[in-house]
Structure 1
Amino acid sequence: MADGSRVSVAVLDVDSGETVSYGDGVFVTASVVKLDLLAAVLLRAQDAGRELGRAERSCAAAMIVRSDNDAASALWDDLGRAAGLDAANARLGLTETEGGDGPLWGLTRTTAVDRLVLLRQVFGADSVLGAASRAYARDLMGRVVPEQAWGVPSLADAGTGWGVKNGWLPRDATGLWVVNSVGRVTAGGRAYLVAALSDGNATKERGVARLEEAVRTAVAAAEGPGPRAAGAGRPPRPGH
């Protein structure tokens, strides 16, 4: 884009299985990595044949529903930081996500396509995650506090549910914002999994507006007539 910002969007039509994607490149996750952390903790519990413990459940709920950073840091450390996250993500089929250095889980790097892989593990039936784990993750994503229900939920048909995890982060070196949104939504009567990543935004608000416009454009392309291959259609327009 002319101002140096970037946007990458990947959309899966749940009913048809068709995918539309725009933009490429690797992006910092900010808080959308909290969905990875949740999946990793759930996998660990499954492996041990147990439910999440009280502390795990408390941290999981806080980091998804309220995007609590201290809760995410506690689970990040408990999992073994990047090594633990990367091992879990490999089992989930993610190939383009790499955990952040040291305590910096928010600087995990990923792609929109890999975010879609994770969403399919959470919202699809063919998943490494068991049915109870998927239901738990979906429930938390559907209870995100109202002030964080931007991005993917902006597309939702009236009266329909949605699930989301957003991320936002000003970069110290530039002061520019990372703004990301991933989740499931019903739009135009059809269910979609949506992953949208952006960086180089002058403000968080501008990033949210640009991201929501890019997501609307991608979903409109997925709704279009005829079969759509990945990358088909027109690119997202820049925000105003």
Structure 2
Amino acid sequence: MVNSPDAKGHTSVALYDRTTKTSCTFDADRQHDSASVVKTIVLGALLRQVQDEHRALREAERTLATKMITASDNDSTTALWKQLGLTRIKEFLRLAGMRHTVPDPDGYWGLTQINAADQLTLMELFTATNSVLEDDSRAFALDLMNQVIPAQRWGVPAGAPSGARVHVKNGWLQRTGGGWRVHSVGAFTGGDYDYGLVVLTSDHASMSAGVGVIEGLARRIHADVNKTPASAGHSLRSRSLPTTSDGSRVPESGR
């Protein structure tokens, strides 16, 4: 289903579709700097902490999590990263089975090493009953990912079925001398839809090049999964792309 889309950069793809029992990967074990898609991991770890402590989210935590996911707010992410600490984040990764996701040893959350296979594992946890995250926790995570601001709803939603409920989180980061890391992770639910799609890209010359690769793949994959023309499905709410990095090097000092 998926061919290498661009020899100038590196692209990793992972898909599951529970309805058709389909799975597909391309270079899904390649490690990438996470940029802001790590924020879905921070959210998962926070929700697991709340469960372990047998309590509800505090209002401040709810506010930080909402800003972190819906607007990709870096300060909110840093606050939650410090609250959780590396030990708890690593424990969540262990419980989730995300064995190849490695937080940056120098404490920069945007440089967490991720791969498409592990990111798809997290989308699967968010979208089906499991022993790691309770149903209320999963519903909260999916609701936030459904409320991402219009300017950040590019990426894997391109070409998604118009009747699907779209959940997305994107990340973008420019490395000196190493091009752009542009990623998009998502899940598509509601009605007959129950699938997840992850596309991670590195080393493109511009952010728009990375986004173009992601959206081109997404349109073809949605069409293949749903047996529809590639031009059908969701039109993106915004094609205005940021011009600066997100998920930049943020230390965990003061943790």
Same fold per TM (> 0.5)?
yes
Cα distance in structure 1, aligned partners of 2:204 and 2:112: 18
Cα distance in structure 1, aligned partners of 2:214 and 2:174: 16
Alignment of 1:112-123 (within 5 A): 112-123=116-127
Q: Is the 8 A contact 2:182 2:210 kept in 1?
A: yes
2:187 equivalent in structure 1 = 184
1:129 equivalent in structure 2 = 133
In structure 2, the residue corresponding to 1:154 is in which secondary structure? Answer: coil
TM-score (norm 2): 0.81
1:49 equivalent in structure 2 = 54
Q: Is the 8 A contact 2:164 2:193 kept in 1?
A: no
Q: Which amino acid aligns with 1:15?
A: T
Cα distance in structure 2, aligned partners of 1:10 and 1:159: 22
In structure 2, the residue corresponding to 1:133 is in which secondary structure? Answer: helix
2:9 equivalent in structure 1 = 5
Q: Does 1:210 align with 2:213?
A: yes
**1:176-207, Cα deviation, whole Å (9 max, x unpaired):** 110001111269x6432011100011111111
Q: Equivalent pairs: percent with the same residue?
A: 37
Q: Is the 8 A contact 1:62 1:71 kept in 2?
A: yes
Q: Does 1:173 align with 2:177?
A: yes
Q: Is the 8 A contact 2:160 2:222 kept in 1?
A: no
**1:128-165, Cα deviation, whole Å (9 max, x unpaired):** 10011001001100000000001111122224320001
2:198 equivalent in structure 1 = 195
Q: Which amino acid aligns with 1:87?
A: E
Structure 2 unaligned spans of 5+: 228-255
Cα distance in structure 2, aligned partners of 1:223 and 1:114: 24
Q: How many residues align?
A: 222
2:232 equivalent in structure 1 = none
1:164 equivalent in structure 2 = 168
1:38 equivalent in structure 2 = 43
How far residue 61 of structure 1 moved from its aligned partner, in angstroms, is 0.4
Alignment of 1:99-114 (within 5 A): 99-114=103-118
Sort the Cα spacing of 1:191 and 1:102 in 2 relative to 1 into closer, same or farther, 3 A.
Answer: same
How far residue 90 of structure 1 moved from its aligned partner, in angstroms, is 0.6
In structure 2, the residue corresponding to 1:101 is in which secondary structure? Answer: coil
For the aligned residue pairs, the C-alpha RMSD in angstroms reads 2.1
How far residue 215 of structure 1 moved from its aligned partner, in angstroms, is 2.7
Sort the Cα spacing of 1:84 and 1:158 in 2 relative to 1 into closer, same or farther, 3 A.
Answer: same
Cα distance in structure 2, aligned partners of 1:22 and 1:135: 29
Cα distance in structure 2, aligned partners of 1:161 and 1:205: 25
How far residue 219 of structure 1 moved from its aligned partner, in angstroms, is 4.2
Q: Is the 8 A contact 1:151 1:166 kept in 2?
A: yes
Q: Does 1:76 align with 2:64?
A: no
Q: Is the 8 A contact 2:173 2:181 kept in 1?
A: yes
TM-score (norm 1): 0.86
